[in-house]
A and B are shown apart, each in its own frame.
Chain A
């Protein structure tokens, strides 16, 4: 440390640092610690490649009929997952179409939904934010989206 602080300043700075730490509730810290459970998950990551809420031109054109529908697309090397939020439900489609299982992971747990032969699925009601989806198929396909906040 440079020759900067005298004893009083150092004490005051120390007080400030300890007070800042004490102000933080333990649940807030636990939230951060729990996130590590997602480290090194062995699935292929699907990136968000389209989000209607980021697409202002489209929103301007379609404002009258479609402004309330949120559409998202996640893409990985082998497939994409298309999502729409309609009337409180999450409707999805795996492309190219294939059957499998969809896991909806929230910060409090996991639910599963079936995916039919044409790759369609419904999560009803839409999950609490943030959540992420994991698509698994019998052939070993395992694709995980990033965290989604609706």
Chain B
């Protein structure tokens, strides 16, 4: 998924003068930044600080990214660096300027960063594939995914379809998602990451 044409196109358009493309980039990767901030257990104001710095840096780098397709990696790495900066600054002021804690090093684990990038790409592709579905499919899948789940009777009443065709329609909607161009770019790396709660239901 290193050469996702969607990302390359968005970066190219945003580097020109296209606020819409920029907004799409932000919508697509804000969850990546957020999840990294969450792993660092940052406060709300620190998260705002990190997000501001990362996006402002990206605005300046837009025309200079050597490989636009590597944007997710750039974002993840930059967010990590910014998170480390605020965490380190907080510890320094608490402890009067001691050395960086060894505990901080766990945050810099390359494997973790790589997984976060793959997860972000996968999630972005899934959301894009979902957004391409016809409204009926989106409604059906959203109801099936809601927590707590809706009963087939409730789905049948809300969407005005017979209970008996919910199963087949669900299968058709998922097949449609599977064939979408958004998911076509998913590679083995993205597929291999565990799906939380994704074990087969009995």
A: residues with CB less than 8 A from B are: 1-2, 4-18, 20-21, 23-24, 27-29, 31-33, 35-36, 38-40, 45, 67, 107, 129-130, 146-147, 149
Contact = CB atoms under 8 A, between A and B. Distances in A.
Contact of A18 (B60, B85, B127): B127
Interface residues of B, number: 54
A18 B200 CA distance: 19
A5 B52 CA distance: 37
A35 B58 contact: yes
Interface stretch (B4-12, B28-36, B65-73, B104-112): B28-36
B141 A11 contact: yes
Given A8-B201, A10-B174, A38-B60, 4 more contacts: A1-B178, A12-B196, A31-B48, A31-B55
Interface string B12-24: 0010010100110
22 contacts: A1-B179, A2-B188, A2-B191, A4-B191, A9-B200, A12-B198, A13-B126, A14-B126, A14-B145, A16-B123, A16-B126, A20-B35, A20-B123, A21-B127, A24-B31, A24-B34, A28-B51, A31-B52, A36-B22, A36-B23, A39-B14, A147-B53
Contact of A33 (B22, B124, B179): B22
Interface of B, helix, strand, loop or mixed by DSSP: helix
